[in-house]
Structure 1
Amino acid sequence: MEMRGPGSKFPFLRSFFVLLFFFFFFFSVSKAGGESPYEIQQRDKVFLLPGQSFNVSFAHYSGYVTLDEESGKALFYWFFEAVEDPHSKPLVLWLNGGPGCSSIAYGLAEELGPFHVTADGKGIYLNPYSWNQVANILFLDSPVGVGFSYSNNSDDVWNNGDASTAKDSLEFLKKWFKQFPQYEGRDFYLTGESYAGHYVPQLAQAIVRYHQLTGETSINLKGYMVGNALTDDFYDHFGVFQFMWAAGLISDQTFKLLNNLCDHDSFVHTSEECERILDVASDELGNIDPYSIFTPSCTGSGTFSRNRLLKRMRIGKMSEKYDPCTEKHSRVYFNLPEVQKAIHVDPSFAPSKWDTCNDIINENWKDSNNSILPIYKELIDYGLQIWMFSGDTDSVIPVTSTRYSVDALKLPTVVPWHAWYDDGQVGGWTQIYKGLTLVTIRGAGHEVPLHKPKQALLLIKQFLSGSPMPTLSEHASF
């Protein structure tokens, strides 16, 4: 028997209910500032960017979400709807690390975002491998003091840490979903790289515990994926030394001294003897990009200091067509007044000089977990889908470090180590554990979507679909 709704017999009723729905959706008053979600979205909608010589079929929005009216604490976001049928696609949040580095500068402008910055820093071009091919993508500059995110209380910038960042990011999401209620309850995933190896699992844990405490389901977290991720101080440190030695970057003697003199449990508090041998290791590496050891470094940028190599102060220097100076291009573009106006940066709170990373935040970070592995165990038991990926030419958080961390979880193997393929070529290797999937990307450095954009798009597609990386007989292509 055919089932008929209330509008099948009386077509005008269907139109009435549709209009009624849109009335309540667009004109329901939000708690923030008395504006409706529709008004906020219209205010934050981005139309034409400086240097944009092409049209796009997707909508995108940028602006602030105020976390604390009293202190004037606000986080800056840029949100891109999927290229096709955004209403059916999941929502993905991307976070860069540092700590103190901008997701707008890196994730958006040179990795997985729809727009990348041209070599002169005055325009943008379309990224054919943008992740909004398969999902709605939200970029967040977190914590306050990063990129265009700000606080009227300077103490907030000087006192960031893991705990406050997770708390503020959760508060951001709760308010962002109120401003974009059409995404409430949508399948939601967290992604990121580098120090986001802390941010992402910690935020996932905060969301899960918030759900358990309140029963609130507007943030429908399904899983997370992190790449070249800082995970465990001991294994990360030990893996760096081993990778540098195995790749022929340091001498046998230096490798032995690093292991004998440096405390693997901490990247921050080192002895004088360890400091000296770290300097020797830095000299032996020479002027290479430690984030991608087989590709050219940006000429004229000076040598990479030991701090940059071993304390994770920056995140990468390259682009899809291999321009190793993309960071310079972003600095030019996002300091242009017309760009800041187009993306709704409030000049009253804009930094005097926008930069890709904020060293004050990095140097004054208050709390950093020695290991994130206990959070993995908690969230695996909770049932989230968890993937870790690793570009295998990164010496800063190398594949050796990630493999040691995964091994420490002692998870049963479901599918053993094997190659995966893209267009008939080995794209990397993968192993599926009970509760976690590990994927390496062959030939990629620290910023996988930058170095291997096509393979990175395949990676996010497989992750979101819950499918393993393709084998030779079933390799996928775009």
Structure 2
Amino acid sequence: MTSSTAARHLLLFTIFVAISMLLAITARDEQEGDRLGFLPGQPRSPLVSQFSGYVTVNEHNGRALFYWFFEAQTLPAQKPLLLWLNGGPGCSSVGYGAASELGPLLVNGNGTGLEFNKFAWNKEANLLFLESPVGVGFSYTNTTSDLDNIDDRFVAKDTYTFLVNWFNKFPQYKSHDFYISGESYAGHYVPQLAEVVYDHNKHLEANKQINLKGFIVGNAETNDYYDYKGIVEFAWSHSIISDQFYKRVKNVCDFRLSPTTNECSHVMDLLFKMYHEIDMYNVYAPKCNTDGSAVSSSFDNTVEKEAKNKAKRLRMYSGYDPCYSNYVEAYLNRMDVQKSLHANTSGWIKDRRWSLCSDPIFDNYDMEVFSVLPIYSKLVKGGIRIWVYSGDVDGRVPFIGSRYWVEALGLPIKSQWQPWYFKNQVAGRYVEYEGLTMATVRGAGHTVPQDKPAEALVLINSFLLDRQLPTKDI
């Protein structure tokens, strides 16, 4: 090698190192710019390492998604990264997952501040919450036509772009084991995102891949036929509807059809009305009777919406405790809270109003995907770890329907249906298939981490460590 060639190589290497250092400094500065101190009303102890802000997913349209990230409580450099998504479609993972269910900082019982969650999932993982799709919560777009074109594929593509760009901001987590989690309509979001990551990884160099290891979904909408069959059978088996009404629904509804017939839509509207005096999302929980609650109002409007739009499948928002929802909305609409969260910086939310669920997203969402079961079959073959869990007193996405679609996958059974335990009590039951585990959580409704937080922590710990649920007391 001549001296001039060596000099050129040295120069190129120097430039490469300088660019790499510049990018690392830029990433660190962007990351630290999103770091949070103490939020209004946050307890001073224990300390919580947290970040929040925006990640652009489409510069041309000015589309950006809002995230809230919590580092693991211990050894974050050694813990996996877990993404959590809520469903709806159109409901906020910040308001529900982070602030109501499994985050380390939960809105307190009157909306005036926060309290530490001793069952937070960031005991086991670095925990990332994302408000998706655009138009949900604090996430925004400068191109209003984006809001008219949202469907499952749009969401999966944007979320993948978010991940790529988020890892550019937090490069120290790029090599960590990565898992995806969520509940309700995230039963569509999660496997579809996993498929996009899986497919992209095939065509990327190892250092550019996302280190996807698996996903876990709770009370997950998955296959319309089995899910709605489950709704009807659960309502009958839990004395919500009469024998005569049950026979009527079976006679007029074929849930394999999309859209359903007008007659089927009518009887299903009647079925949903029968839940108005109890909580469909936890049939044994007290119902909130506070006027104007976020979820009860969206529930009451469902019948009218569906009657006006027969082209859609029969759907309702992912459901959550309506009284508690009021407190979450009150807290996240405080200007000092939004400023501390680095949220609503674009002023996209008119009058600075933030809502748990977005009616425009729900109304305009193109629910064209009837089933995500083919994705399950594909990813099981691809070696992706998959767990499915169900609170067993949820009437909205009942465990009955989930058992039907899990069985429809036709996977060989590794271990038979059996109980798992927590504190000398049966905490639920589970069955292991080749490539998939299904579990129930006894006494939990639609939002398992909220209803049974200690059991939910055992569940996520077992999933992340790839070990069986405890078959004797812990």
Give the TM-score normalised by the residue count of structure 2. 0.90
Q: Distance in 2 between matches of 1:25 and 1:135?
A: 31
Q: Distance in 2 between matches of 1:167 and 1:183?
A: 21
Aligned equivalent of 1:192: 182
1:327 to 325, 334, 340: 325
Q: Distance in 1 between matches of 2:20 and 2:290?
A: 52
Aligned equivalent of 2:241: 250
Q: Distance in 1 between matches of 2:438 and 2:381?
A: 17
Q: Distance in 1 between matches of 2:425 and 2:18?
A: 52
2:319 to 299, 316, 319: 316
1:133-182 per-position Cα deviation (integer Å, ceiling 9, x unaligned): 11100000011001101000011122110001000100000110010000
Q: Distance in 2 between matches of 1:91 and 1:167?
A: 20
Q: Distance in 1 between matches of 2:371 and 2:434?
A: 20
Q: Does 1:261 align with 2:252?
A: yes
Task: Classify the secondary structure of the residue corresponding to 2:280.
Answer: coil
Q: C-alpha displacement at 1:25, in angstroms?
A: 11
Q: Distance in 2 between matches of 1:173 and 1:363?
A: 27
Aligned equivalent of 2:302: 307
2:56 to 57, 66, 70: 66
The answer on whether the counterparts of 1:279 and 1:306 sit within 8 Å (CA) in structure 2 is no
2:193 to 184, 189, 203: 203
Q: C-alpha displacement at 1:359, in angstroms?
A: 1.2
Aligned equivalent of 2:211: 220
Question: Which residue type is aligned with residue 57 of structure 1?
Answer: L
1:379-422 per-position Cα deviation (integer Å, ceiling 9, x unaligned): 00000110000000001100001000001001110000000001
1:95 to 78, 85, 88: 85
Question: Which residue type is aligned with residue 315 of structure 1?
Answer: S
Q: C-alpha displacement at 1:306, in angstroms?
A: 7.9
Aligned equivalent of 2:399: 399
Could you tell which deviates more after superposition, 166-175 or 47-56?
A: 47-56
Pair 99,71 (structure 1): closer, same or farther in 2 beyond 3 Å: same
Q: Distance in 1 between matches of 2:45 and 2:31?
A: 20
Q: C-alpha displacement at 1:109, in angstroms?
A: 0.7
Aligned equivalent of 1:295: 285
Q: C-alpha displacement at 1:26, in angstroms?
A: 9.5
Q: Distance in 1 between matches of 2:196 and 2:332?
A: 32
Aligned equivalent of 1:162: 152
Aligned equivalent of 2:415: 415
The answer on whether the counterparts of 1:73 and 1:151 sit within 8 Å (CA) in structure 2 is yes
The answer on whether the counterparts of 1:26 and 1:37 sit within 8 Å (CA) in structure 2 is no
Task: Classify the secondary structure of the residue corresponding to 1:197.
Answer: helix
Task: Summarize the alignment of residues 427-442 of structure 1 with structure 2, pairs less than 5 Å apart.
Answer: 427-442=427-442
Q: Distance in 2 between matches of 1:264 and 1:118?
A: 41
Q: C-alpha displacement at 1:363, in angstroms?
A: 1.1
1:10-35 per-position Cα deviation (integer Å, ceiling 9, x unaligned): xxxxxxxxxxxxx98995327xxxx7
1:37 to 27, 33, 41: 27
The answer on whether the counterparts of 1:46 and 1:343 sit within 8 Å (CA) in structure 2 is yes
Q: Distance in 1 between matches of 2:56 and 2:274?
A: 47
Pair 263,306 (structure 1): closer, same or farther in 2 beyond 3 Å: farther
Q: C-alpha displacement at 1:280, in angstroms?
A: 2.9
Task: Classify the secondary structure of the residue corresponding to 1:36.
Answer: helix
Q: C-alpha displacement at 1:346, in angstroms?
A: 4.0
- Which consecutive residues of structure 1, in runs of 5 or more, have no partner in the other structure? 1-22, 319-323
Q: Does 1:349 align with 2:325?
A: no
1:423-442 per-position Cα deviation (integer Å, ceiling 9, x unaligned): 11100000000010000000
Question: Which residue type is aligned with residue 313 of structure 1?
Answer: M
Q: Distance in 2 between matches of 1:270 and 1:312?
A: 12
1:70-121 per-position Cα deviation (integer Å, ceiling 9, x unaligned): 2110000000000111011000000000111100010001100111112221
Q: Distance in 2 between matches of 1:311 and 1:297?
A: 23
Q: May I ask how many residue pairs the two structures share in their alignment?
A: 443
Task: Classify the secondary structure of the residue corresponding to 1:401.
Answer: helix
1:144 to 134, 145, 152: 134
Q: Does 1:466 align with 2:466?
A: yes
Q: C-alpha displacement at 1:312, in angstroms?
A: 4.3
Question: Which residue type is aligned with residue 340 of structure 1?
Answer: Q
Q: Distance in 2 between matches of 1:282 and 1:347?
A: 39
Q: Distance in 1 between matches of 2:56 and 2:264?
A: 43
Q: Distance in 2 between matches of 1:270 and 1:103?
A: 30
Task: Classify the secondary structure of the residue corresponding to 1:369.
Answer: coil
Aligned equivalent of 1:12: none
The answer on whether the counterparts of 1:298 and 1:317 sit within 8 Å (CA) in structure 2 is no
Question: Which residue type is aligned with residue 360 of structure 1?
Answer: P
Task: Summarize the alignment of residues 87-126 of structure 1 with structure 2, pairs less than 5 Å apart.
Answer: 87-126=77-116
1:320-378 per-position Cα deviation (integer Å, ceiling 9, x unaligned): xxxx5111011101110000000101433341211001111111112431111000000
Task: Classify the secondary structure of the residue corresponding to 1:28.
Answer: helix
Q: Does 1:241 align with 2:244?
A: no
Q: C-alpha displacement at 1:222, in angstroms?
A: 0.3
Q: Distance in 2 between matches of 1:230 and 1:253?
A: 27
Q: Distance in 2 between matches of 1:254 and 1:434?
A: 38
Question: Which residue type is aligned with residue 438 of structure 1?
Answer: M
Aligned equivalent of 2:22: 28
The answer on whether the counterparts of 2:217 and 2:389 sit within 8 Å (CA) in structure 1 is yes
Aligned equivalent of 1:15: none
Task: Classify the secondary structure of the residue corresponding to 2:23.
Answer: coil
Q: Distance in 2 between matches of 1:126 and 1:273?
A: 48
Q: Does 1:453 align with 2:448?
A: no
Task: Classify the secondary structure of the residue corresponding to 1:87.
Answer: coil
Aligned equivalent of 2:222: 231
Give RMSD over aligned pairs: 2.1
Pair 25,470 (structure 1): closer, same or farther in 2 beyond 3 Å: farther
Question: Which residue type is aligned with residue 177 of structure 1?
Answer: F
The answer on whether the counterparts of 2:89 and 2:318 sit within 8 Å (CA) in structure 1 is no
Could you tell which deviates more after superposition, 328-337 or 367-376?
A: 367-376
